[in-house]
């Protein structure tokens, strides 16, 4: 067992029932948040994929970005 796990176990053993219940709810909430954030993650394309996709474009992406920014102003 790692030192960190042993320290955590020692602290858990020192807690009363009410504190353990509160800690359990905190741990469940942390795990829910982590699972939800994993589902929302968008996998980033690598640079080679971006270059291939952008090389086939006939229009100027810089112009499109500028137009979009002007529309928002």
Q: Which domain holds residue 20?
A: 3-40
Tell me the percentage of the chain whose pLDDT exceeds 90: 41
Q: Which residues of the chain have pLDDT under 70?
A: 1, 42, 73
Domain assignment present for residue 54? The answer is: no
Domain assignment present for residue 17? The answer is: yes
pLDDT for 36 equals 83
pTM, two decimals, is: 0.47
- Structural element, H or E, at residue 59: none
User: What is the number of domains present in the chain?
Assistant: 1
Contact 9, 17 (CB under 8 A): no
Give the tokens for residue 7. 């320290």
Domain assignment present for residue 53? The answer is: no
């Amino acid at each position: 067992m790692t030192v960190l796990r042993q320290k955590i176990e020692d602290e858990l053993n020192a807690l009363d029932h009410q504190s353990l219940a509160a800690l359990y709810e905190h741990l469940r909430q942390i795990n829910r948040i982590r699972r939800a954030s994993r589902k929302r993650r968008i996998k980033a394309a690598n640079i080679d994929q971006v270059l291939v996709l952008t090389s086939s474009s006939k229009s100027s992406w810089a112009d499109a970005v500028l137009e979009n920014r002007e529309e928002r102003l």
